[in-house]
Amino acid sequence: MSLMKYCSLINTVSGVRTFSRCAIYRTTYNVLDEKEILDFNDNLENYLEKRNYKDPEVYKKINIGFAVPAKVRKDTTERIAHLKKLQNDANIKKLSAKNELKIPLEDVTREWEKHSFMQHTHAIANHYNIFDDLFGLAYFYPVLPIDISFSMDGDKVYPVYRGNVLTPTQTSSKPRIAFTASPDSLWTLKMVGLDGHLDNPDSQYIHWMVTNIPGNQVDKGNELCSYLQPFPLRGLGYQRYAFILYKQTSPIKLDPIKGVSLKERTFNTESFYRVHQDNLTPAGLSFFQSSWDPSVTTLFHNVFDRTEPVFEYDFPPAHHPKPEWFPLGKPFNLYLDRYRDPKQIAKEYLVAKFKATNPFKPPPPRLQYPNLVPFDKNKPSWLNLKERSDRAGWGRIKEFLD
């Protein structure tokens, strides 16, 4: 096809006139489809919105929780009037300017739980995609605050809020649960891991479940499965763990989960709720994030009795130009290392480290001023440069230093 035919074709297709002449020379089009031409005036946000669009009639979400009480205009008017009164208080302004104003955090928390807790918790849970991954096209508003905290070494307490980060070591023991409920009510509490299922991405792992809790006495409920600490897999980053509190209308009877194997702990929250939706209504939600630490390896070896899975990113091989016979002006060893297997280089560093290590003696102290120690003048320059980098802990040796 000649260049004039290209020009006539371009002039007939809407939105292609913005292509420059040089682009025509560089590219050859076999088939030019108008659907494949992007609108360069559109931004990425609008493009993703169009691409991920879902019909609201088909993908309509349903509230499976308790109804959210409507805000009373009188309460809003009173809060605005109270806020203006505080802003115009000369004494409060004076203390604030001197950085001496003390705020009663307990009163603030109580006021927040009374007026904004449900909306804020629902919004942050949506941000972390909690409802979609647990219930599919269903959601609920957490109407009941849950106070959840892990204790470690007796005096350290690690609370669970709404997406805060806790380590598997900090959450290795059963948490303390507190919430407000009438003594004659029944509740179900469960903890699930939303991410990192090894066999089915649509399932979760159940870490803890207690049913038929009388009032707020969790220790008197029926523990269907014992507590299992989080085990975020190595290489997958932060993973989510959620506590869900259900209100029961009557006692529920379920088969206990006695084992701790990954197969026995496989769980699907959506399927569980579909079976028991007439008896359970979600009322409370708290969740945290966690990433790998060495306690996960211990758990896989001692409890699961299996090899720990490790996920690594498979980087594409680095592109290097064709080797030169005489690479002038380039460090000899670094230039050759470009074309070697990185695992072989790491092995050489480890072998050298183990040769210089005595298991019965502490390692020698590092030089305080490494560049003051003279170098062997008979050695080639590239070898002296390598020794200088090793002394200072620069380059690849940094990964193998204690």
pLDDT of residue 332: 79
pLDDT of residue 402: 58
Tens of pLDDT, residues 151-198: 987 778 999 999 999 999 999 999 999 999 999 999 999 999 999 899
Cα(12)–Cα(110) distance, integer angstroms: 66
pLDDT of residue 289: 97
Q: Which stretches in the chain have pLDDT values below 50?
A: 1-36
Q: Structure tokens of 387?
A: 């020794």
Determine contact, residues 227/168, Cβ cutoff 8 Å.
no
pLDDT of residue 188: 97
Identify the burial level of 189 via C-beta atoms within 10 angstroms of its C-beta, where 0-12 means exposed, 13-18 middle and 19 or more buried.
Answer: buried
Determine contact, residues 368/360, Cβ cutoff 8 Å.
no
Q: Which domains does the chain have, with CATH numbers?
A: 3-51 (no CATH), 67-115 (no CATH), 121-302 (3.90.280.10), 332-400 (no CATH)
Beta strand residue intervals within 52-153, DSSP E: 62-63, 138-139, 147-152
Q: Structure tokens of 27?
A: 């590219």
SS3 track for 337-394: HCCCCHHHHHHHHHHHHHHCCCCCCCCCCCCCCHHHCCCCCCCCHHHHHHHHHHHHCC
pLDDT of residue 23: 36
For 157, list phi and psi in degrees, rounded to 5: -125, 135
pLDDT of residue 28: 41
**Chain-centre distance for alpha carbon 346:** 30
CA atoms within 13 A on the CB side of 389: 15
